Structure 1
Amino acid sequence: MCRAQYQTPEKAAARLSQGYITAYGSALPWSNLEQMFAGAGGVISTAADMGKWLSMHTNEGKNINGERLLSKSLLEESYSPLPGSPKYGLGWSLSSANVKPARISHSGALSTIQAQQDIVPSSGYAVAVMLNSFTTTFEHAYEISSGIIKLTEGQKPNIKAPMPKIIDLFLGLMTLIYLFLGIKGILRSKEWSNRRKLHPTLRYYLRLMPQIIPVLFIGWLFFIVPNLQNNSSTIKDAIGIWPAAMLFLAVVFLIGTIVTVRRVYYRVRLNRN
């Protein structure tokens, strides 16, 4: 395993393949988080090295040349659940009772990377899947690994509906509907204000809360969270987590801000007159 290293993403960027995020059924090239990494997120490896790593686990701690690297008891201890945890060991997790065949797994993801490794004790097979893409609403690496395991068992992999695409398209439809209704609200701001010109000031501004509350929350998510202490993420990183959802939130934020400002403006102008 001479090519597996522990490096920060910015140092390893030149050696990594282009990362992608998914949106509306398409893949978009995207940059990874610059500094936020931990555990498997900081290990840069290759398919060949992952094969050697997993073969050591399926060969009772010996490498491909028969040399012992770890004792069998130490490997078994790493798989065993920790006190207070029914399934999680030293970086490894045991599959649920409904997962057949039983497997020992570890997975991880960054903003444009997803990985899954599975060991199947009953057959001696092990699978590693490393993807240069990330989808918030679906664990593609896990599903691919599960499909390969089914093939090793002589079974046909399950073909599932493209749920990430369906969810994103639904969010896209909601975004368009909200945008349409929001533009109508912007154009009718003066009329809305005139209909409530006799309302007391407190009541008038309380009626703005349905717009103000989402604006405050989304503004906190986009502009405050990325600037918290020891947080290297940016607004772009937040968008990359789930582009379809973030676009919807951005539209809600912009519409809410514009509607609120216009309604306050017409209220102030009305009071002056």
Structure 2
Amino acid sequence: MLRTLLAALTITLLPAGPAVAREPVTAQAVDEFVTRYREQTGLPGAAVAVTHGDRIVRAAGYGRTATGDPLTADTPMAVASVSKSFTATAVLRLVEQGEIALDQPVRRYLPEFTMADPRAAGITVRQLLDQTSGMADSTFREKSLPQPSTLKGAVARLRTARLAAAPGTAYSYHNTNFQVAARLVEVVSGRPFAAFLDAEVFEPLGMRHSTTIDTDRDLPGSARGHLYVLGHAIPLPEPTGFGNGSGGVLSTAHDLARWLIAQSTGDGVLSPSSVEALRTPSRQNPGYALGWSLGRTPRGAATLEHGGDLFTSTAHQLLIPASGYGIAVMANTGTAFEDAGQLMDGLVALVEGAPPPLPDGSPFLVTDLLFLLSALVAIALGVRGVVRARRWTARWRARWWVLPLYLAPLALCVTVAPVFRVLARGRDIAWIQVVYLYPTFMLALVTAAAAGTAVVAARVGARLAATGTPK
């Protein structure tokens, strides 16, 4: 009863505000906005779906994929963490079939789910889906550890992990929750997770071009993305990572339009009571339900949404229940630039009758240029320091203490991932992923580390040669 009341207060009874534009949004308006956005930012490609009730307003692809092919409404792209709403739906299908119960321990259905922390035995299925299981990046570094290749492996590597909090007491966004949930679906249904999603979700909704994958190696060319460097989008492979259950779904604009319509009209694969459960947040975080976030538009309309970030692409989905609008966006640029989120902001503005905001060119061009200049300066100073190493030895007694300072960039380069974890309040990251987030900064840092190390090596070598230190 409490959960039902909380869901009603959060979604149904919230004052919606003027959520609908004075005139219905048109396909032309969507096309014009996305085209202008791409012209302003240099975004290589995007796919967009806008629905209203049971009608597709626009489902289209714009630009090109990372392999240079035209991007269409049927081009499969990565939806990243938007996948969590699909995983939650798969779990609710098993609930409806009487195979599992949301408030029963996961281990009852998935005996292989064991952790070093005995409290893990009490984690329920619901707590996986609303991210209150007690698992967190701070105690289990899911991204920087060696990556699994299967859902079974993703669960197996938890055997040495501990919880950050008792189950049901704290919210922590942690991808492993949904990887365990997807493995639960596999074991209980007796089918691979991809086969279950296809049969129970994608096929019934007519999502003919959607699937789910395990790792970055499974990404097709159409789902690969870019990084912006000096204002230009450069195609790069996704860093090594495992994402099935938490971020592995591939879909298209047409397929996501069908998904949005099913979510908006209730004519989907779940009963009304399951949809209500799906949209009911926990007491620990009223802003997060089962694979969906709860929020508001700038004009105050209640929303259901979820974003998704890979390091080379982004995605976002959003429903406005009061107006019946649904929007989904996929962009083939990385998480540092949030093109999908910015496109979503503009499309929400359109359906609310406001001018869609447009960014003012590349937001990091000046910063990139400064870091590039820093790298060039580091090279010049490094060459100068190496060339003058012998001259430096003449006054080494007064200057030896400077040598450790030259190694400071190397120390930061080695420890940049732990430093990021502290700044991000415990969120995990691998070293190479920092490079993808901040490419020109890391270029400058690695260059400075190499230059500083070369200077120290040259000066120490020159000093040893000058003093005739025996070998």
Please, what TM-score do these two structures have when normalized by structure 2? 0.48
Please name the residue that 1:62 is paired with: 267
Cα 1:87–1:135 change in 2 (3 A) is closer
Alignment of 1:159-170 (within 5 A): 159-161=358-360, 162-170=362-370
Deviation at 1:48, TM superposition (A): 1.2
Secondary structure in 2 matching 1:133: coil
CA deviation digits over 1:210-245, x for unaligned, max 9? 2223313424669xxxxxxxxxx895x664343212
Q: Is the 8 A contact 2:302 2:320 kept in 1?
A: yes
Which amino acid letter does the alignment assign opposite residue 175 of structure 1?
A
Please name the residue that 1:143 is paired with: 342
Q: Distance between the aligned counterparts of 1:25 and 1:74, measured in 2?
A: 45
Deviation at 1:271, TM superposition (A): 2.6
Please name the residue that 1:246 is paired with: 442
Q: Distance between the aligned counterparts of 2:368 and 2:299, measured in 1?
A: 28
Which amino acid letter does the alignment assign opposite residue 251 of structure 2?
S
Cα 1:183–1:123 change in 2 (3 A) is farther
Please name the residue that 1:154 is paired with: 353
Task: Kindly indicate whether residue 407 of structure 2 is the aligned counterpart of residue 212 of structure 1.
Answer: yes
Deviation at 1:15, TM superposition (A): 5.8
Which amino acid letter does the alignment assign opposite residue 164 of structure 1?
F
Deviation at 1:9, TM superposition (A): 4.2
Unaligned runs of 5+ in 1: 64-68, 223-232
Q: Distance between the aligned counterparts of 1:123 and 1:26, measured in 2?
A: 38
Aligned to 1:172, which of 355, 372, 376? 372
CA deviation digits over 1:67-89, x for unaligned, max 9? xx223343233233223113122
Instruction: Indicate the RMSD between aligned Cα atoms, in angstroms.
Output: 2.9
Please, what TM-score do these two structures have when normalized by structure 1? 0.79
Q: Percent identity?
A: 30
Secondary structure in 2 matching 1:252: helix
Alignment of 1:99-248 (within 5 A): 100-136=300-336, 138-161=337-360, 162-196=362-396, 198=397, 204=400, 206-219=401-414, 239-248=435-444
Unaligned runs of 5+ in 2: 1-206, 418-429
Cα 1:81–1:173 change in 2 (3 A) is farther
Q: Is the 8 A contact 2:297 2:348 kept in 1?
A: no
Q: Distance between the aligned counterparts of 1:38 and 1:170, measured in 2?
A: 38
Q: Distance between the aligned counterparts of 1:80 and 1:164, measured in 2?
A: 38
**Higher RCO (CA < 8 A, seq sep 6+):** 2
Cα 1:100–1:166 change in 2 (3 A) is farther
Report the more deviating stretch, 37-46 or 48-57.
Answer: 37-46
Q: Distance between the aligned counterparts of 2:297 and 2:376, measured in 1?
A: 43
Deviation at 1:97, TM superposition (A): 8.4
Q: Is the 8 A contact 2:215 2:244 kept in 1?
A: no
Q: Is the 8 A contact 1:22 1:135 kept in 2?
A: no
Secondary structure in 2 matching 1:134: coil
Report the more deviating stretch, 255-264 or 102-111.
Answer: 102-111
Deviation at 1:34, TM superposition (A): 4.4
Secondary structure in 2 matching 1:181: helix
Which amino acid letter does the alignment assign opposite residue 142 of structure 1?
G
Please name the residue that 1:95 is paired with: 295
Please name the residue that 2:457 is paired with: 261
Q: Distance between the aligned counterparts of 2:245 and 2:363, measured in 1?
A: 29
Secondary structure in 1 matching 2:407: helix
Secondary structure in 2 matching 1:116: strand
Which amino acid letter does the alignment assign opposite residue 243 of structure 1?
P
Secondary structure in 1 matching 2:255: helix
Q: Distance between the aligned counterparts of 1:41 and 1:4, measured in 2?
A: 13
Deviation at 1:155, TM superposition (A): 0.8
Report the more deviating stretch, 122-131 or 187-196.
Answer: 187-196
Q: Distance between the aligned counterparts of 1:99 and 1:171, measured in 2?
A: 39
Report the more deviating stretch, 40-49 or 9-18.
Answer: 9-18
Deviation at 1:91, TM superposition (A): 1.5
